[in-house]
Structure formats: C-alpha cells, structure tokens
Amino acid sequence: MPNYMLLLYHDPSGWPKMSPEDQQRATEKYMAWTKKPFVVDTNRLTPEPGKVMRMPNGKPQTVDGPYSETKEVLGGYYTISAANYEEAVRLTADHPHLAYGGTIEVREVWQM
C-alpha cells in the first residue's frame, strides 16, 4: 500500500494567542491523531526557517529560508498509509490541523 506525506502548514502567530488550556487541548488532539492505525510516522519541525540548498553554476549554495510571501510555514508532517489519494484525503479529513486553520498538503511518497 502506498504511503502519503501530510505536510502541515500554519501561521505560527496564532499559537501564542491561545490560552494555555486551549494549547493543551490542541496538543492532546494532535497526539490522539498520531495513534490512528494508518499513521506510519510523524514529527514536528523546529520553528527556525532552516536552510535552502541549490546548485547554481555547479557550485552548492546554501541560504537561510525558505522565505515566501505567505505567513504560513511548514510546521510538521505525518506519513500515512492509504490505498490511493482519495483514501488519503478521506483519512485526513478529521485531522485537527484543519480545525485550527492550518493547511495540509497531501503527497504520495515515491515507491522505489
């Protein structure tokens, strides 16, 4: 069965505006979702922007980033197992990230 990456994007300015109680409830919902039987892997990313690497003119170049015009950042990912895109989307429809205003990009993982 194929695996799908769920790339979680969000506006990080919203989290500090939540009460500690709401933050705790949100964390519990995310943690509960990780225990679903089709979840293969998950991790949160650190808040720093990371690095972007390219090779212009045959020489590796590394810059801080990624930076974009949007306020959304990639905050974490899940890997799930699903028969196809339709099932992956259906399984993801109740993810709490959507309820908190986040965006989830669903991408099939290449099978070698």
pTM equals 0.86
Query: What are the sequence ranges of the domains in the chain?
Result: 3-108
Q: 73-81 and 39-44: which strand pairing?
A: antiparallel
pLDDT tens digits for 50-104? 888 899 889 999 988 776 656 788 999 999 999 999 999 999 999 999 999 999 9
Domain boundaries 3-108, CATH class? alpha beta
Burial class (CB in 10 A: 0-12, 13-18, 19+), 77: middle
